[in-house]
Structure 1
Amino acid sequence: MMKKDSVPPVAMLLVQLGFAGMNVVSKLALDAGMSPYVLIAYRNLIAAAFLAPIAFLLERRSGATITKKVLLQIFISSIFGATLNQVLYFVGLKSTTPTVACALTNTLPALTFVMAAALKMETVRPGTPAGQAKLVGTAVCVGGSMIIPFYKGPVLRLWASPVHWRFAEHPSSSSASAAAAAGHSGAVAGDVLIIASCIAWAVWFILQSKMAEGFSAPYTSTAIMCLMAGAQCAGVSASMDRSLAVWKLGFDIRLYSVLYIGIIGSGVGFALMSWCIQVRGPLYVSMFSPLLLVVVAIIGWAILGEKIRVGSAIGSVLIVAGLYMVLWGKGREMDKQPGLDDKGDEEAALGRGLKGKPAVASNRVDAISLPVFPATSPKQHDTAARNGSN
């Protein structure tokens, strides 16, 4: 049976696998002429519909109550974590190359670390082995992710992949033209937008960690966030293109793409990340993002028949090494964190912020008289408050 300590890293590995597939199907849908704003709107609305029943089944007895403060936090999270992040990325991708965009995305761990450290949500102790591991590991991981796009090197002589997806055999001429045009002045604006999307993504990590201190129902908050983001993206799409034809879906790559990225990319992905943020913190979750480059390289070789070069191999090794150092340092800090009993189980940490505060819903007068789902008994609520878990 899987150890509890291995659940968060396995969950984050699955998230990166899902994101890698999302990049492939999203690119195919955009090449087929689908509007990026419509794609993002469908993504979030489908995610909300997928997560709602799961949240009801798993968190109906959690005792967490939706207050005005929680709703405001979820709304702000939807703006940064879904709408701004996704819109800025797709618009920026039009003006730059996918390789550069993927490389810039891997500034996320450094941005998250700086924000978390500035807000004193992440400890920075360079004099301790754990602190040194986190600092050096972050630098090594980001450095390795930068090697992959900017240093190619000779092609590694590997065996031919037995898998090939014929639908993705020939990229559209429009995407090829966009990639060629990205090398001019518009690339600078595109790069800035990609970095801005990473900043929005890092802010979302911080917000989720803060929200976990007062509302420990990740599936419920994620479902509400996706619903809000879907409405926001639909409004953006309507302002950009008032035609209803852009929303049409057939039994083709457009339908398959929105289903995949809605269920896997946003539904499962956001829920797992929200849970891992509550358990291990925002830096831990963001450190897995550079693995996406490794996964994409493998998928590109297996499905699209792309060649793996020396630069990709070196960068992948550095990414894994840096990630291991950060996880080791984070693990050492959590082992020494006060308030955890000798059992060492993660339920003691679940629902706590990085400062060790229990995640108990507010019972103030300004709370909306609306529990997440049918109200639990006061005894259940008090038990949840004492355990600090959901």
Structure 2
Amino acid sequence: MEGCSYYLAMVLVQLIYGGSNILIKFSLAEGLNPIVFVVYRGMRKQRPSLSFSVAAKIFVLALFGTTIYLNVYYAGLADTSPTVACALSNVIPSLTFLMAVLLGLEKLKIRTARGQDKVAGTLFCIGGKLDQGAFLILTSHIAWSAWLIVQAVVSKVYTARLSLTTMICFFASLQSSFLDLFFARNPISWRLEWNLQLSTIAYCGVAISALAYYLQTWCISYKGPVFAAMFIPLQVIIVALFSAISFAERLHFGSLIGAFLIIVGLYCVLWGKKERQSCC
């Protein structure tokens, strides 16, 4: 039962991210400043005491996974649809897998059936969606892949997952606040009212900055960064369905085939990892 909980947790995480993409797209259309949004959603009250070395690692973690990823992603999302933005997330599993192999966090035995399944699954996830996305979106996904790798390293030296989530949000707010000095000087951008923008900030602050980050940290600490990355293509399917309802986007036959390839690729890689772990 414990093994299934990791899978359920990551599916829930993708559902949370999928819903946030739709809410954020609506809020950006209503004038929400992306950088101001990142500052507000990351604000938390609790801060644990840390050594300088660990704090520096978490600072870098927040830089990749929140400050760079979110600010660049939301800037790209403002000029494209949520479905197209999420389509490029298919590169995250392959980038994460490549980084993990180069850093020795994952072992690839290309001559074995399990190793070939991992490679095939990664290629399927890349090819499952062929839409061209914006350069900003692609850049943000590269930063997210790096975040998954750094998260695996940091979680080994700082095992308090709730405190780790809090520190990530705290450092991200500081980093984004610094960016605001240059890109969000207008005081009107900081004004909050009881509308969709405030609801979006509250949802992302609780559901993503608290719950989703915690679940991802928990899964990565036990299953590794590649395991977490392989669920990200599910977000494309989720957002495509949400967008079809919210924005009346059409689901083409090619998109359905792409979704099928994504699922095939996902389970090929997960099967390869499960077989390798059962043989250890």
TM-score normalized by the length of structure 2: 0.93
Partner of 1:39: 37
Partner of 1:76: 60
Partner of 1:202: 145
CA displacement at 1:95 relative to structure 2: 5.3
CA displacement at 1:92 relative to structure 2: 3.1
CA displacement at 1:89 relative to structure 2: 1.5
Partner of 1:87: 71
Partner of 2:109: 125
CA displacement at 1:79 relative to structure 2: 0.7
Partner of 2:136: 193
Instruction: State the one-letter code of the partner of 1:87.
Output: N
Instruction: State the one-letter code of the partner of 1:12.
Output: M
**Among 329, 335, 342, the residue aligned to 2:272:** 329
TM-score normalized by the length of structure 1: 0.68
- In structure 2, distance between residues paired with 1:97 and 1:293: 12
Indicate if the aligned counterparts of 2:32 and 2:189 stay in contact, CA closer than 8 A: yes
Partner of 2:214: 271
Q: Could you list the per-position Cα deviations for residues 338-385 of structure 1 after superposition, in whole angstroms to 9, with x for gaps in the alignment?
A: xxxxxxxxxxxxxxxxxxxxxxxxxxxxxxxxxxxxxxxxxxxxxxxx
- In structure 2, distance between residues paired with 1:6 and 1:255: 35
Partner of 1:115: 99
Indicate if the aligned counterparts of 2:89 and 2:236 stay in contact, CA closer than 8 A: no
Partner of 1:246: 189
Partner of 2:238: 295
Report the aligned-residue RMSD.
Answer: 2.0
**Among 188, 204, 211, the residue aligned to 1:261:** 204
CA displacement at 1:232 relative to structure 2: 1.3
CA displacement at 1:77 relative to structure 2: 0.4
- In structure 1, distance between residues paired with 2:202 and 2:40: 8
Which aligned pairs between 1:345-356 and structure 2 lie closer than 5 A?
none
Between Structure 1 and Structure 2, the one with more helix by share is 2
- In structure 2, distance between residues paired with 1:94 and 1:303: 16
- In structure 2, distance between residues paired with 1:191 and 1:302: 23
- For these two proteins, the number of residue pairs brought into alignment is 280
- In structure 1, distance between residues paired with 2:225 and 2:207: 20
- In structure 1, distance between residues paired with 2:118 and 2:184: 46
Which aligned pairs between 1:128-277 and structure 2 lie closer than 5 A?
128-146=112-130, 149=131, 191-277=134-220
Instruction: State the one-letter code of the partner of 1:124.
Output: L
- In structure 1, distance between residues paired with 2:50 and 2:136: 34
Structure ID, larger Rg: 1
Indicate if the aligned counterparts of 1:134 and 1:329 stay in contact, CA closer than 8 A: yes
- In structure 1, distance between residues paired with 2:183 and 2:245: 37
> Matched residues, percent identical?
35
Distance 1:303 1:34, change over 3 A: closer
Partner of 1:21: 19
DSSP 3-state at the match of 1:106: helix
Indicate if the aligned counterparts of 1:44 and 1:227 stay in contact, CA closer than 8 A: yes
1:313 aligns with 2:239: no
Q: Could you list the per-position Cα deviations for residues 41-68 of structure 1 after superposition, in whole angstroms to 9, with x for gaps in the alignment?
A: 11111xx35xx5xx99xxxxxxxx8332
Which aligned pairs between 1:373-388 and structure 2 lie closer than 5 A?
none
Indicate if the aligned counterparts of 1:142 and 1:290 stay in contact, CA closer than 8 A: no
Instruction: State the one-letter code of the partner of 2:240.
Output: A
Instruction: State the one-letter code of the partner of 1:207.
Output: V
Indicate if the aligned counterparts of 2:33 and 2:184 stay in contact, CA closer than 8 A: no
CA displacement at 1:336 relative to structure 2: 2.5
The gaps in structure 2 that reach 5 residues or longer are none
Indicate if the aligned counterparts of 2:83 and 2:243 stay in contact, CA closer than 8 A: no
DSSP 3-state at the match of 2:157: coil
CA displacement at 1:304 relative to structure 2: 4.3
The gaps in structure 1 that reach 5 residues or longer are 57-64, 151-189, 338-390
Indicate if the aligned counterparts of 2:123 and 2:265 stay in contact, CA closer than 8 A: yes
Which deviates further from its counterpart, 66-75 or 324-333?
66-75
CA displacement at 1:130 relative to structure 2: 1.7
- In structure 2, distance between residues paired with 1:96 and 1:252: 23
Indicate if the aligned counterparts of 2:83 and 2:236 stay in contact, CA closer than 8 A: no
- In structure 2, distance between residues paired with 1:257 and 1:287: 26
Instruction: State the one-letter code of the partner of 2:235.
Output: L
CA displacement at 1:214 relative to structure 2: 1.7
CA displacement at 1:96 relative to structure 2: 5.4
- In structure 2, distance between residues paired with 1:100 and 1:18: 18
Partner of 1:345: none
